[in-house]
Amino acid sequence: INKEERKNKAELIAEPPGKESKAFLQILEYEGETPFVPE
């Protein structure tokens, strides 16, 4: 996944907070990113 795709996915997933967003944030953390945590 390139940075742009990842950013787009993060934005899409951040819309409805839930299992999907948490799973995606865990993936970013695993990849060594510092994810933006939606409120």
Report helix angle 19-30 to 3-14, nearest 10: 150
The three-class DSSP label of residue 2 is: coil
Please give the Cα distance from 3 to 22 (Å, whole number). Answer: 18
Query: What tens-digit pLDDT sequence spans the chain (39 residues)?
Result: 577 777 777 666 555 556 666 777 777 766 666 556 655
Q: What is the pTM of this model?
A: 0.26
The three-class DSSP label of residue 17 is: coil
The two structure tokens encoding residue 4? 């742009």
Burial 3-17, CB ≥16 within 10 A → b, else e:
eeebeeebeebbeee
